[in-house]
Structure 1
Amino acid sequence: MWVVVLATIIVVGAGIYFLWWPEYVEFEKNNQILENKGKEIQNKKNYLAEIEASINILSDYEAELLSISSAMPIYDVSEVTLFNFVQKTSSENGLLLQNLSFSPTEYTKIGSKTSALKWKIADLPFSATLAGSYESLKNFILALYSNSRMMEITSLSFSSPESNIYSFDLDFNAKYYIEDNQQVKKPVSPVIPEL
């Protein structure tokens, strides 16, 4: 009788060891994987919550960020926007835009060595020939410098008047942000129709 009991214990023990134990080990392994995935998901949720909090903080400064962006925009189709800006500002102040040409873009690197995204400040030099009165030029310069866009006049020359109309040659320098690895196309001067 004790042989039957011993044989039953051995068969049950062997069955548990060979059948149930591998399943138990697999269950524990999958449980550990599930726990790690849960921690990973929680970390991602925390990260997204931090990003959302940062966005909410930045949204409080939306007006300031917009003024910075308009003062020194990210380089896109800057020649076209500059052409439109100069043409609109000159016509609003009584000047006639006769010529506008762009020079090659110059760069200044900014950013720390540790930041992942490097930016350069692109100087976009261009020149314009305007026709009009001295008072119109004065109003144009005031409008230019009261605008939030970072632009400066680097030189100004004018010719003698013909019936109180001067011809003004101005050289400008506009500033833009550009990613360090972004390729900038050579500026193309817009064509101004002959009058």
Structure 2
Amino acid sequence: MSAGRARLGVLVSGGGSNLQALLDAAGQADYPAEVACVLSNVPTAFALERARKAGVRAEVVDHKGFGSKADFEAAVLGVLADAGVEWVCLAGFMRLVSADFLRRFPGRVLNIHPSLLPAFPGLHAQRQALERGVKVAGCTVHYVDAGTDTGPIIAQAAVPVLPEDDEASLSARILAEEHRLYPLAVRLAVTGAVTLDGARTKVAARVTGDGTALRSPGAPK
């Protein structure tokens, strides 16, 4: 844990492969963020084991144990506050967060979604892409707002949709880009290289393409 690094709270509900990408990035000395806490609403989520293996605080707040969303979120916020979390990263967290939650972290809640938003928000984005016959798919990291996958876009990565693709193969191709894109987007956000401008974002001119995939923004110099 290095002084001066942004403290991330990662919220998960499942296996946590995007969490692992953030943990791996945070293990690099020059990465500007550290994972301070991992929280899941699912007690059996494998993501919790990933956190423990990395020596990161792992907490369970099961939504089923609360009578209301407000009570559930109050418990989540209590854990995040106790861990000194400054930024929240949703990584396969299958609960919508409320406007009250967002007010606790203004402009500091990020999400990753497996489509090129604003196309195909919500569940089963890859299936939606195949059903509509798109030729390019991808993933998006965005700031979270009160809507569903409607917040300002930070970064995107595109992949081809192949004629033989099914939901599993397309999901795997997109997921590989998610693992590259999320740590990059977090870096951009916590260092101020990307800033909110109403419903849009502005990206610093020093951020350029990295030449390894169609990603926008690309890797910083």
Superposition TM-score, scaled by structure 2 size: 0.21
Greater RCO structure (CA 8 Å; 6+ sep):
1
More helix by share: 1
**Quick check: which has more Rg, 1 or 2?**
1
